[in-house]
Amino acid sequence: MVNSFSISSLYDAPFNICARAFFLRYPNPYAGHIVSVDVLSREITPDKKLKSVRLILKRGQLPKWLPKNLVEKAESWVLEESIIDPLNKRLNSKSYNVDHIKLMRLIEEASFTAEKTNTTRHETTATVISNIGTSTSSWMDIGVKAMRSRIENYTIKRFQKGLHKQRAGYLHTLDNIGDGYGHSLSSLNGSTSIFNRLRNMLYST
């Protein structure tokens, strides 16, 4: 069984500002569960897009009904892959947990797309897949099937609940940018040189 959930938002801000806020959204007052964010790689692709990979450590709470032998710590490492297409003004990202995969996998896909009205459309889809019992024969114990379904339902409901805080934290970041609305992507903290290179490559011809 696979559970999924989607949501769409429209921000009254241009694409370049929304892209900045995506990378600067942590820390914020609504993201107390985020322990750390590290950039693993950042490069300009041959087709002049910016590709980034970040590793995020998240801390949460485990449900009391979950058997203790399944998960030792209420922490999870999440890999976030993103790519910015500055010509078409689109940012796509995909994040997924790299641990606890025998228990379940949460895949979050998001996109930021520029609208004609100088606004930005933000769409998010989350998919939860529990891997408990997937290697077992078709006669798998009913209790295992029930546990797998319960894990998927619990995770997607937690994601739905947390998504409101996620959006609030993102809007908080947009508000804090303030006068930065007139700045380009090159002002991203810690990424000035690579964004300048990207801008120069795009507009030098």
> Mind listing the domains of the chain with CATH numbers?
2-194 (3.30.530.20)
Q: pLDDT tens digits for 79-94?
A: 999 999 999 999 999 9
| Dihedrals phi, psi of 175, to nearest 5 degrees | -65, -40
Q: pLDDT tens digits for 3-14?
A: 888 999 999 999
For the record, the structure tokens of 126 come out as 């989350």
- Give the span between the Cα atoms of 9 and 19, in whole angstroms: 14
3-state secondary structure of 164: helix
- With a threshold of 0.95, does the pTM exceed it? no
Q: pLDDT tens digits for 150-192?
A: 888 888 888 888 888 899 999 999 988 855 443 333 333 334 4
What's the mean per-residue pLDDT of the chain? 83
